[in-house]
Structure 1
Amino acid sequence: MSTPVLLRGGTVVDGTGRPSRRADIGLAGGLIVDAASIDRSTATVIDVGGLVVSPGFIDVHTHSDAVGLQSGDAAAPSDLVIAAARQGVTTEIAGNCGYSIFPSAHHPEFESSLREFSETLLGTGARPGADIADFRRRHDASRRLNNITSLVGHSTMRAAVMGFAQRAASRAETDELCAVLDAQLRGGAVGWSSGLIYPPGTYATTAELVALGRVSAAHAAPYVTHLRDEMSQVEAALQEALQVARQSGTSLHVSHHKTAGRFSAGKSVHTLAMMDEARADGIDVTCDVYPYVAGSTHLHALLPPWVAEGGFRSMFQRLADPAARERMRTEIVTGIAGWENTVGNGGWDRIDVATAATRPSAEGHSITLLAARAGRDPVDYVCELLQAESGQVTIISHSMDESDMRRVLAHPGTMVGSDGVPKGGKPHPRWAGTFARVLGRYVRELGVLELEDAVHRMTARPAARFGLAGRGVLASGKVADIAVFDPDTVLDQATFQDPMLHPLGVHHVFVAGQEVLRRQRPTGATPGAALHRLAGIRSLA
C-alpha cells in the first residue's frame, strides 16, 4: 500500500471542462480522496502552489504495443519507454492503424508470416499473443510506469485468419473475423482499428468493415480508422468510414485526422463539416490529431500495396526484381485507383528516413538526398534500403499544412493522440513532445484552445470514448492518475534532429496514487497496468 499523498495549494483543472479552481487533492489507496481525510502527520505533503493539477493524460493513439516488452532493465527504463509518462501521459492506447500484437494466427500456415509482420512493424517484443488476455498478462509482468490498453487490429485479425491474400474476404472468412473481434471485445479490448492504406487491411471491402462494425456496435465499442486516403481522396475516404458507421450502428473515431499532400490543403474545412453533419444525423463520430505538420510511418507503406502481398518474404523478392521496381516507379507517377499515393502527392524530397539501424548516417535525411549521394534512382534506393534493413525502416513525411492541423485541433470533436512510433534512430518528436506541445504552444502561446478545454480533450473525453472506467476526472473515488505541470513553462523540446529531448514544466506524474516521475526522473515506482474496457459504456462525443 502506497503512502497517502496530499497535493497542496494547486490549481485544479479536473478534466470535465469546467473552470479551474484552487483546491487540495488527496491520494490514498490508489484513489482520489477528500483532502480533509488525509492525515498530514503521516502523509507525503507536496506543495504544488502555482502549478496545475489535472487528470493524467490519455494518449488515444500510440504504436507502443511492445515497447515495454522488449529486453532491458525495468529499474532503469529507456527514454523510449518513459517518453509518454514524461509528458504526463498515464494511459497509452495501442493497437492502432490496424496493427495489434494479438490475436495470433488461427491457421498454422499463417503463423510465421504473421509473426514476421508483427515484429517488423512493432519491434522485437511484438510476438503475436493469443488474445487480449495474453496482451494484459505480458504487460502486467513488465513493470510499467504507466498504463496501457489496446484496440484489436483489423490487419492483424486478417493476417491471422486469411494471411496476406490480396482479395476480399469470403463470407466464411468474414464470419471468422467477426467471431475473433467478438471474443476480443468480450475480453476487454477498447475497440478495433483499421489501417486502410496498409496491407493486408487495404484489401478489405466496405462490406467487410460494416460486418465488423456490427460487432463493435453490439459491444458499444468504437471503430477506430486510419482512413483509406488522407490525401487527394480524403473526402471519399471519410465518406466510406461514415458509411460503415451509418450501416452498422458502430461509433466511429477517425485517427490522426489530416488533409495531407499538395492536393489537399484546406480540405479540413470540408471533412470537419462532414463529421458535424454526421453528428447531426445521429452518428457518434470523433477524431484525434497530433500537433505537428509531419507524419510518420513505415517506408514500405509508400510503395504500391501489391508489393507487400503475401507478407514480407514475398515483398523482399519483389524489391529485388527489376521489373517490379519499374512497375513501382510507373505507378508512383500515374497512381492506382483507391491507393493513397504518398510520394505522388508530395515527392521523395519530403520523405526523411527516421530509423535505419544498420545505416544510421541515413537518419534525418531525405530520400532524394540519400539516393543522389548513392547515385541511385529513389525507388532503387528505397528497395535496397528495405532489403538491407529487413523491412525495418520508418520515415517522416512532411506533408501537411499548419492551418489545417490547427483547424482540426480546435474542432469540438477532437482528442489528442501522439501516433508515436517509438523506435530508435531519429523517430518523430511527437512521441516525446505531443502533450507538452499542445499545452505550451497551442494553449499558452497561440490560444488555439483554452486550458480547461485542452485538458478535457486529453482526459475525460478519451476515457469516456474508450470505456476507461474511473479515469479522466479528478473526483473522489476516481483512480489517482494525475499530472502536475506549470502552465507558464510547460513546453516540448523534442525536435526532428533531437527527438527524445524531454519536455519542460511537467513536475509530477502519479499512476494509481504512486509518483512515477518527479521532475522528469523516474522514482522507481512501477504501478502501471494493462486496462480493461468497461463493457457497455458509450462515448461523450
Structure 2
Amino acid sequence: MDVSGLVVAPGFIDAHTHSDTAAIDGAEGRLDTAQVSASVVQGVTTEIAGNCGQSVFPGRYSGLAALSRAHTTSAIGRVNHLASLIGHGTVRAAVVGLSARAASASEITRMAAVVDEALAGGAVGFSTGLIYTPGSYADTAEVTALARVAARHGKPYVTHLRNEMAGVEGALEEAIAIARNSGAALHVSHHKTAGKFAWGRTEVTLARLAGLRDAGMDVTCDVYPYTAGSTALGAMLPPWAHDGGPARLLERLRDAGQRDLLRKAIAEGVPGWENTVGNGGWDRIVVAGAPRHAGYQGRTIADLAGSAGVDALDLVAELLLDEDGDVTIISHSMREDDVRRVLAAPFAMVGSDGVPKPGLPHPRWAGSFARVLGHYAREVGLFGLPEAVRKMTGAPAARFGLPDRGVLRDGAHADLVVFDAARISDRATFAEPLLPPTGVRLVVVGGSVVVRDGVVTKARPGRVLAC
C-alpha cells in the first residue's frame, strides 16, 4: 500500500472506556454497528475497560446476570482488543452487597482474594469509582487494603476520585494517600475540576501531581477532550438514596416524603457527596439515553421540567421510574482552560470515557482521538503531532503493562493506524454523536485490516488481552 504523505502510527489505546460488553450488546442487537465500532473507526485498536469501579470481569462477580455472559466475548469476536481492570464496586457488590455500610475485616479479606485472582488472571489494574455506590460506601482503609494487592502484582490503582468538584483537592489527597500506603502506582481517571466552585483548580491539582512525579512517585492521569461529562442520571442523587441497590432507589422515588428529602439534599448538600446538580444546576444536565422517552433525549432536565410545569426532582424521579433506573445524561460542567491544561500535562494520556449506549451518547466515544489530533494538536497547537500520538499509544501501553503495543518496530504487535495529519478531524457532535472522523485511512488490528477509508471490514481479530 502506498501511504506517501500519510502518518503511520501505532494503533491508539483508549485509556478509559466503559465498553466492557459492547461486542456482546452488538451481537445481541442492543447496539448497532455504528455504536459498537465508533472507537475503532478513529484508530483505536485497544480499549481499557473496567473503569470507575465497575467491571464485568470476572463474570461471576459482576452481580448482574445480563453481564455474566462476558466470557462469551471471544466466541462473538471483536473488531479491536479489550483489556480490563478489576472494579472495586463489582467486587464489593458481590462480597458485601449494596448496603451503605463499612466492610468487615473478613469481607475485606474476601475482596482482596477476588482482586488477587483477577489480577493474576490478567486484569491490568484495580479501579475504583468513589462517587458511585457501592464503592462510595468504602472508607480509605478498605480501598488501601485492596490497592496493596494491585501493588503486589505491579499493577496500578486507577481511580475516579471521590470528588471532582468543590472537594477535588481533598479527594486527590485521598488517592495519593492510598497509593503511598499501598505501594501501588496511581492513575487518576478522566482528571477534571468540574462545577463552578472548582473551575481553574487544575492549576493546583496538576502542580501537585507534577511535584509527586518529580519526587519519584509513579502517577499519571487520563483526560477526554471535552468540557462535558456523562454518567447515569441516578448519580445525580445522594449516596443514601441508593442504599440497598437499584430496587430500593426506585422505592424511595415513589415516596413523596423521600423526594422532599432528595430535594433538600441537593439544595443543601451532603457531607462528602459531590452533588453535581448543586455545583451547576439542572439546566446543565441533558438527557442522553432514555429508551422509552426518546423525545427527552438532547433536552435539559430544567427545560423538560419547565415544559411540563413540574419540579425538576419530580420529573427526574418519574423518568427514572419509567425507565427502571436506566437513564444516561450529559453534564456540561467543565471549563475549556482546565481541559487544555490537563491535556497538555506530560503525564496525561487520552481516554475517551466512552459509553456505547443507544440514544444521543456523548460524542467522545466517536470523536476523542480525532479531536486531539485535529483540533488540539494541529489547530490549537497545544502540542506537536509526536506528543499527541504518544499520549494515545506508548503512554497508555506503559501505564497498563501492554508489552509490544503502542510502538512501531519489528516484532511488535501489528496494531496500526494510518491517517492524514492535515485532514484528520472529529465530526461527532452532541446532536449527531456517532459521526465518524475524517482523515483516517486504515486501521489494522493483529495484522488484519479492520477499517479501510472509514468502512469497517468483516475481520474480527480482536481479543481480550491479559497482562
TM-score by length of 1: 0.85
* Corresponding residue for residue 204 of structure 2: 270
AA partner of residue 523 (structure 1): T
1:431 aligns with 2:365: yes
Distance 1:481-1:415 versus aligned 2 partners, 3 A rule: same
Once the 2 structures are TM-superposed, how far is the Cα of residue 463 of structure 1 from its aligned partner? 0.6
Aligned equivalents of 1:492, 1:258: Cα separation in 2: 21
Q: Structure 2: 5+ residue runs without aligned partners?
A: none
Once the 2 structures are TM-superposed, how far is the Cα of residue 138 of structure 1 from its aligned partner? 2.0
Q: Which has the larger radius of gyration?
A: 1
Q: Please give the per-residue CA displacement for 1:141-180, whole angstroms capped at 9, x wherever unaligned.
A: 1221110111011000000101102011111111111111
Once the 2 structures are TM-superposed, how far is the Cα of residue 522 of structure 1 from its aligned partner? 1.4
1:377 aligns with 2:311: yes
Residue among 115, 128, 145 paired with 2:64 = 115
Once the 2 structures are TM-superposed, how far is the Cα of residue 269 of structure 1 from its aligned partner? 0.4
Once the 2 structures are TM-superposed, how far is the Cα of residue 309 of structure 1 from its aligned partner? 1.0
AA partner of residue 289 (structure 2): T
Aligned equivalents of 1:73, 1:240: Cα separation in 2: 41
Distance 1:520-1:142 versus aligned 2 partners, 3 A rule: same
Aligned equivalents of 2:179, 2:158: Cα separation in 1: 11
Aligned equivalents of 2:382, 2:200: Cα separation in 1: 17
Once the 2 structures are TM-superposed, how far is the Cα of residue 102 of structure 1 from its aligned partner? 3.0
Residue 27 of structure 2 contacts residue 76 of structure 2 at CA under 8 Å; is this kept in 1? no
2:158 match: secondary structure: strand
Once the 2 structures are TM-superposed, how far is the Cα of residue 512 of structure 1 from its aligned partner? 0.7
Residue among 152, 164, 180 paired with 1:230 = 164
1:363 aligns with 2:297: yes
* Corresponding residue for residue 41 of structure 1: none
AA partner of residue 532 (structure 1): A
Which structure has the highest helix share of the two?
Answer: 2
* Corresponding residue for residue 7 of structure 2: 52
Residue among 420, 428, 451 paired with 1:517 = 451
Aligned equivalents of 1:128, 1:168: Cα separation in 2: 26
Residue 105 of structure 1 contacts residue 159 of structure 1 at CA under 8 Å; is this kept in 2? no
AA partner of residue 402 (structure 1): E
After TM superposition, the structure 1 stretch with the greater mean CA deviation from structure 2, 276-285 or 362-371, is 276-285
Distance 1:105-1:88 versus aligned 2 partners, 3 A rule: closer
Query: Which 4+ stretches in 1 moved above 4 angstroms?
Result: none
* Corresponding residue for residue 24 of structure 2: 69
Residue 90 of structure 1 contacts residue 482 of structure 1 at CA under 8 Å; is this kept in 2? yes
* Corresponding residue for residue 493 of structure 1: 427
Residue among 127, 132, 141 paired with 2:75 = 141
Residue among 178, 188, 191 paired with 2:122 = 188
- 1:161-310 alignment to 2 at 5 Å? 161-310=95-244
1:128 match: secondary structure: helix
Residue 26 of structure 2 contacts residue 36 of structure 2 at CA under 8 Å; is this kept in 1? no
* Corresponding residue for residue 478 of structure 1: 412
* Corresponding residue for residue 346 of structure 1: 280
After TM superposition, the structure 1 stretch with the greater mean CA deviation from structure 2, 272-281 or 332-341, is 272-281
Once the 2 structures are TM-superposed, how far is the Cα of residue 327 of structure 1 from its aligned partner? 0.4
Q: Structure 1: 5+ residue runs without aligned partners?
A: 1-45, 117-125, 130-134, 534-541
Aligned equivalents of 1:224, 1:383: Cα separation in 2: 32
1:401 aligns with 2:335: yes
Distance 1:382-1:219 versus aligned 2 partners, 3 A rule: same
Residue 443 of structure 1 contacts residue 454 of structure 1 at CA under 8 Å; is this kept in 2? yes
Q: Please give the per-residue CA displacement for 1:369-391, whole angstroms capped at 9, x wherever unaligned.
A: 00111221000100100010111
Aligned equivalents of 1:458, 1:444: Cα separation in 2: 15
Residue among 265, 275, 290 paired with 1:331 = 265
Residue 92 of structure 1 contacts residue 148 of structure 1 at CA under 8 Å; is this kept in 2? yes
Residue 242 of structure 1 contacts residue 278 of structure 1 at CA under 8 Å; is this kept in 2? no
AA partner of residue 21 (structure 2): A
TM-score by length of 2: 0.98
Aligned equivalents of 1:492, 1:392: Cα separation in 2: 28
AA partner of residue 67 (structure 2): R
Aligned equivalents of 1:197, 1:528: Cα separation in 2: 32
Aligned equivalents of 1:358, 1:293: Cα separation in 2: 28
Q: Please give the per-residue CA displacement for 1:344-375, whole angstroms capped at 9, x wherever unaligned.
A: 00000000000000100000000000011122
Q: Please give the per-residue CA displacement for 1:431-478, whole angstroms capped at 9, x wherever unaligned.
A: 000000000000000000110011111001111110112111000000
* Corresponding residue for residue 38 of structure 2: 83
Aligned equivalents of 1:162, 1:374: Cα separation in 2: 41
Figure out how many residues of one structure are paired with residues of the other and give that number.
466
Residue among 396, 409, 414 paired with 1:462 = 396
2:38 match: secondary structure: helix
* Corresponding residue for residue 128 of structure 1: 68
1:508 aligns with 2:448: no
Distance 1:397-1:408 versus aligned 2 partners, 3 A rule: same
Residue 291 of structure 1 contacts residue 438 of structure 1 at CA under 8 Å; is this kept in 2? yes
Once the 2 structures are TM-superposed, how far is the Cα of residue 104 of structure 1 from its aligned partner? 5.0
> In angstroms, what is the RMSD of aligned CA positions?
1.4
Residue 103 of structure 1 contacts residue 156 of structure 1 at CA under 8 Å; is this kept in 2? no
Residue among 377, 381, 401 paired with 1:443 = 377
Aligned equivalents of 1:292, 1:263: Cα separation in 2: 19
Once the 2 structures are TM-superposed, how far is the Cα of residue 282 of structure 1 from its aligned partner? 2.5
Residue 228 of structure 1 contacts residue 340 of structure 1 at CA under 8 Å; is this kept in 2? yes
Aligned equivalents of 1:307, 1:103: Cα separation in 2: 28
Aligned equivalents of 1:200, 1:260: Cα separation in 2: 22
2:315 match: secondary structure: helix
1:154 aligns with 2:103: no
After TM superposition, the structure 1 stretch with the greater mean CA deviation from structure 2, 51-60 or 279-288, is 279-288
Aligned equivalents of 2:333, 2:121: Cα separation in 1: 38
Aligned equivalents of 2:72, 2:353: Cα separation in 1: 22
Q: Please give the per-residue CA displacement for 1:249-289, whole angstroms capped at 9, x wherever unaligned.
A: 00010000000000011100000011112223332110000
